[in-house]
Amino acid sequence: MGWDESRCGPDLRPCRAQNSALIIFRYPNSPKVLRTYASFLETVKNDPWAASRYYSMADKAEDDLENLANDTIVDDGKGGTIDTRGHAVITIDARGEMKSANKAAYQLFGYSR
């Protein structure tokens, strides 16, 4: 399910758009990916409204990663927060793939950051 320019023909725009969607689908919580796509929308596509949405998603993803890294407070998904100091927290998506882990989880499994 990768990007193959040889199947696109002379106009690469549809393939590049598909590739962008694929990257965002694979890394929806990556602040770098979200900010890069927002910058693309803002400068190339001239769509500041969509860019603003992706910039705010990147800010939220960055805050979530920072909270996990600092072992402090995590959103419980129900409008509240959970204090995670000293507890191993691993975020898993609907497919069962690990998306992030805090320092305590790394130490619990013997990994270093």
Q: Of 64, 85, 104, which residue constitutes the final position of a domain? A: 64
Give the pLDDT mean for 33-59: 91
Q: Identify whether the C-beta of residue 65 lies closer than 8 Å to the C-beta of residue 57.
A: no
CB proximity list for 89: less than 8 A, separation 6 or greater: 68, 71, 74, 101, 102, 104, 105
Q: For the chain, list the strands marked E by DSSP.
A: 73-75, 81-83, 90-92, 98-101
**Where does the pLDDT of residue 1 fall: very low under 50, low under 70, confident under 90, or very high at 90 and above?**
very low
Are residues 56 and 20 located together in one domain of the fold?
A: yes
Q: Of 46, 64, 82, which residue constitutes the final position of a domain? A: 64
**Where does the pLDDT of residue 49 fall: very low under 50, low under 70, confident under 90, or very high at 90 and above?**
very high
CB proximity list for 14: less than 8 A, separation 6 or greater: 8
The total domain count for the chain is: 2
- The string of pLDDT tens digits covering residues 63-102 is 877 766 665 665 656 666 666 667 787 888 888 888 777 7
